[in-house]
Amino acid sequence: MLENIVNNGCGGTKSMSQITADQRKKALEVLKEDADKILRLIEVQIDNLMTPQCPLYEEVLDTQMFGLSREIDFAVRLSLITEEQGRELLDNLEHKSNLLHEAAQNTIPFKKNG
């Protein structure tokens, strides 16, 4: 996705000085959209598929978060976003996923043994 942002349409890439504010804004928007997709995936898993204590849930969450962190690292290296913007994206997603996790734990019925 981000590769298209820096491609100048002629098969080459723009130098860092040619990257416009619009391209930086677009890169940040793309990353936010990807973070929102991860959040929706978490919601679906919690609502329909499994409990947050499930190892598969944790595996999917870790994989998605790792992928987003790689996208963010790529955007930072291309100077499309700042390191601070990248940290804010990940921190915000982690905070929202923690809220969903806590809400799910509070709504899962407690099962008594016996």
| Rounded average pLDDT over 16-26 | 81
Domains along the chain with CATH numbers: 20-106 (1.10.287.750)
Residue 25: pLDDT above 90? yes
Least confident interval from 48-62, 69-83, 94-108: 48-62
d(CA 49, CA 17): 47
Helix (H) or strand (E) holding 96: helix 83-107
Work out the angle at residue 28's Cα, subtended by the Cα atoms of residues 23 and 32, and round it to the nearest 5 degrees. 145
Prediction pTM value: 0.69
Residue-wise pLDDT tens digits, 30-74: 999 999 999 998 888 777 765 556 677 778 788 999 999 999 999
Query: What average pLDDT does the structure give for the chain?
Result: 79
